[in-house]
Chains A and B, each alone.
Chain A
Amino acid sequence: MAQQPAIEPMHQFLIHKIIQGPVFHVGGLAVDMSITNSVASMIAGAVILIAFFALTARREIVPNRGQALAESLYNIVDRVLVGPIIGHGGKPYVPYIFTLFLVILVLNLMSVVLAVGNVAGFDLTFAVTSQLAVTATLAVLTFFSVFILGFVKHGPRFLGLFWVSGMGIFGGIAMVLIEMISYFVRPLTLALRLFGNMLGGHVVMSLFGSFVVALAIVGLSGGLATLALIPSILSFAMIVGLTGLELVVAILQAFVFAALATVYLNEVVNFGHGH
């Protein structure tokens, strides 16, 4: 019997150290600053983003391809999200939303595109955005930045966000509870949506990848088992299709995260106008 590689779709999410870094102890919590495969991917993402904009952010009236791409990305945030949703008051927040969008986009795309390297045996890819620690950080950072901005801009009046008028005293109090739950569940949904989408896609791709190899090994042992080559090839076709789907998901989830952050920010910037 030929050697069977184990099917371990979760293996790709395992973190391992590349360079040992200092470990800080903050109140009994050990913060290990080692460069892991996850941290290396984050740094690579930041380098890609900075290099991309350093190269493409030219001041030409007639843009070349790189400049057109950079401007399209910026317009997605500026003219598709912030402009229509928040209006003119949203201008100062465009850089933050743009950063959110770019960071999620580049990390998502890296996890799909660089996975091609796995075919040749290079372990280039690590899906940073399928780490709950990272998506939760993004969600909490965004949610509480917006929440605190609400108090900075409007003071205690901002708590009126939870008050639904026209319900009477008791109805109003009951609605405050419901509104507060639905409000504070937002960071959870933000974190889990991105985490779940990236996790699911990568698990499915990994599973079909394992099928390709496992069934091909069975198929190559000859005899009636040769029929196993058919599902092996079908699995490979599935991977091709799934890769396209995952590219769409990668872009869409970055857009969704940025769009929701914009919607939450809108409640703060236009507080008292739309309610």
Chain B
Amino acid sequence: MATETQESTAAPEAKSAGLPQFDFQWWPGQIVWFLIMFLVVLLFVRLFAAPRVGGTIDARDEKISGDIADARRLKDEAEAQATAAAAETAQARAAAQRVAAEARAKAQAEVAARLAEEEATLAEKGAVAEARITKARDAAMANVAGIASDTAGIIVSKLTGKAATTAELTAARG
């Protein structure tokens, strides 16, 4: 057992007295094999992996930026449409207000005209009525003088026992 341990520890020391990496008998084979392996991987990466992976990444970036540009364009379009719609609404509202104002003015004018007409009619009727009242009053007043003369004659005849003359009554009425 002791010899075994001794052998295994002594063996590498005897070989190169240090790192196995400096055992140059393995260098040429390793270098050539490594170059072959590297070249194979390089060709694979150059012809397949890099264009495939890089192309996919570029395609994705293009798709994303394209989609964002589309979205931005659509948003701009929608905003333009919204602005146009707002302008149209404002125009329509203004038109509606104008129509409403016109209709109101017309209605007011009509009302005023009819009011004036009614007033005129009323004034005419009032004038007629007044004239009739004046006439009736005059008539009544005339009757009152007669009644007063008659009453005075009756009173005089009752008091004095003799009838007063018309001339006397008229003079008394003053």
Which A residues have a C-beta under 8 Å from some C-beta of B? Answer: 3-4, 6, 8, 10-11, 13-15, 21, 26, 29-34, 36, 38-39, 42-43, 45-46, 49-50, 53-54, 57-61, 63, 67, 70-71, 74-75, 78, 94-96, 98-99, 102-103, 128, 130-134, 137-138, 141, 195, 199
Which B residues have a C-beta under 8 Å from some C-beta of A? Answer: 1, 5, 8-9, 12, 19-23, 25-35, 37-38, 40-42, 44-46, 48-50, 52-57, 59-60, 63
- Smallest CB gap from A73: residue in B: B53
A50 to B50, CA, bound (A): 12
- In the complex, what residues of A have CB within 8 A of residue B60's CB? 61
Whether B53 and A15, one on each chain, are in contact in the complex, defined by CB atoms closer than 8 angstroms, is no
Given A38-B30, A103-B38 in contact, is the A10-B20 Cβ separation under 8 Å? yes
A70 to B29, CA, bound (A): 31
- Given A38-B30, A102-B45, output 10 extra A-B contacts at Cβ < 8 Å: A15-B23, A30-B25, A30-B28, A31-B29, A38-B26, A46-B37, A50-B40, A59-B52, A67-B56, A99-B42
Given A10-B12, A38-B30, A53-B53 in contact, is the A141-B42 Cβ separation under 8 Å? no
Whether B57 and A75, one on each chain, are in contact in the complex, defined by CB atoms closer than 8 angstroms, is yes
Which of A21, A102, A137 sits near B35, CB closer than 8 Å?
A137
Which of A8, A94, A128 sits near B12, CB closer than 8 Å?
A8
Which of A8, A11, A95, A131 sits near B30, CB closer than 8 Å?
A131
- In the complex, what residues of B have CB within 8 A of residue A138's CB? 34, 38
Whether A4 and B33, one on each chain, are in contact in the complex, defined by CB atoms closer than 8 angstroms, is no
- In the complex, what residues of A have CB within 8 A of residue B29's CB? 21, 31-34, 36, 39
A33 to B54, CA, bound (A): 36
Whether A99 and B26, one on each chain, are in contact in the complex, defined by CB atoms closer than 8 angstroms, is no
Whether A58 and B31, one on each chain, are in contact in the complex, defined by CB atoms closer than 8 angstroms, is no
Which of A32, A49, A70, A131 sits near B41, CB closer than 8 Å?
A49
28 contacts between A and B (CB under 8 A): A3-B1, A4-B5, A6-B9, A11-B12, A13-B21, A14-B12, A15-B23, A36-B26, A36-B30, A38-B26, A46-B40, A57-B48, A57-B52, A61-B59, A63-B56, A67-B56, A71-B56, A95-B45, A95-B46, A98-B49, A132-B21, A133-B26, A133-B27, A137-B38, A138-B34, A141-B35, A199-B19, A199-B21
Whether A39 and B50, one on each chain, are in contact in the complex, defined by CB atoms closer than 8 angstroms, is no
Distance (Å) between the CB of A210 and the closest chain B CB?
12
Distance (Å) between the CB of B87 and the closest chain A CB?
40
